[in-house]
Amino acid sequence: MPMADRPEIVVAGCGATAFGAFRDGSTPRDWVLRCAREALDDAGVEAADVDAVVVGSESDFFSLQLAPGALLADEIGLVPCPVVRVEMGGGTGGAAIRAGFMHIRSGLHRCVLVIGFEHAASHLSGDDMRMLYGLSFDADVDGMAGATAANLYALSIAEHMRLYGTTEAQLAAVSVKNHGNAQANPGAHKPMAITVADVLASRPVCTPYKLLDCSIISDGAAAVVLASGDTARNRSRPRVHVTGSGCASDHVRLGDRAEPHRFRSKERSGRAACAMAGIERAAREIDVAEVYDAFTGAELQGIEALGLANDGEAGAAMAAGEFARDGRLPVNLSGGLIGQGGAPGATGVMQIVTLTRLLQGRYWPALQPQRRLRTALADAHGGVATVSFTHILEARDD
């Protein structure tokens, strides 16, 4: 299909639960049903209007439910819609958004419900989670040898620090910002008022990372309705178009990468999404971003890889407040994985929910920037930026 003939794609509706550790007896069935109904209502469509479903969840070990896609579609009342389930580590939600995007862009479907969920925080121990995440890299080489996500991310940022002079205080500034943003997000798992000194004094995890440099595992769910432009019905507010989608991969084993401090998959994914959206200078043309912050250093590395700051300069820019709410380019107003929480299957979908509401001027009031936002970037990845997903959103008054 020629590019000019491919349908435009709109985020027609959004829904989400809070992120947290749910010990109230509820299950992913409850969370997904609630946020799916919210997204459908927000879009002004009925279940009968949906012609495909994409479900993202990182691991059956987390949810203790094999083949969750069909079950959840049935619970929502979407039989006989076609259903696919996707997983890509921490980037699962981003992969689900891309799958929904491709369904519509290909012309195969016109209205797709994309769901992301995870159930880990309330019924798995920290030791269990560390073991499972170790197996999500190269299980034979890394996982069985005892390597953890913290080990591998720490090795990557340590090289960045050696080459560019990035400091632990600059890493800590990410934590201060994201935990602080979470204070104004009622759905956040870890709102905190902290200082750089607090972060530096927190318990060491894996040098240079301390406890407050790390994201938190959460339960939660999010949903969006993606629709072709002529199908979307709710036109009472600026419509948010998905104008770019990118995906790229890198070597799974960090030691196989020539430059382990660089997130090369994210560079390629970001370039592809920006090219599709017609963006030439991301640092100047993007108004707001949600960047995957499994660890504080990963946010800085992601900002650079996506072209939102020059190589080696994100740390100083972070400390100077350039990525704060009223800075030149707000990053992770939600609080990110560090403040809002990390429910892997839901994170990439929640980023789209957050950015859509920000572009429409209907996000949490204390976090909504005073200036008009036109263009947003969503970024998620699995592994240590092993597979990256980038999406560009644009608000239009059409």
Structure confidence at residue 267 (pLDDT): 98
Structure confidence at residue 123 (pLDDT): 78
Q: For the chain, which domains are there?
A: 3-123+217-228 (3.40.47.10)
**Does residue 110 contact residue 104 with C-beta atoms inside 8 Å?**
yes
Structure confidence at residue 1 (pLDDT): 46
Residues of the chain with pLDDT under 50: 1-2
Q: 72-105 pLDDT, tens per residue?
A: 999 999 999 999 999 999 999 999 999 999 999 9
Structure confidence at residue 199 (pLDDT): 98
Q: What is the pTM of this model?
A: 0.96
Kindly give, in sequence order, each residue whose CB lies less than 8 Å from that of residue 371, ignoring residues fewer than 6 positions away.
287
Tell me which amino acid residue 163 is.
Answer: L
Q: 232-279 pLDDT, tens per residue?
A: 665 667 899 999 999 999 999 999 999 999 999 999 999 999 999 999
* CA dihedral over 169, 174, 180, 186, signed as positive or negative: negative
**Does residue 378 contact residue 231 with C-beta atoms inside 8 Å?**
no
Structure tokens at 341: 């929480």
CA 296 – CA 72 distance, rounded (Å): 34
Kindly give, in sequence order, each residue whose CB lies less than 8 Å from that of residue 218, ignoring residues fewer than 6 positions away.
19, 20, 21, 118, 120, 121, 189, 340, 341, 342, 343
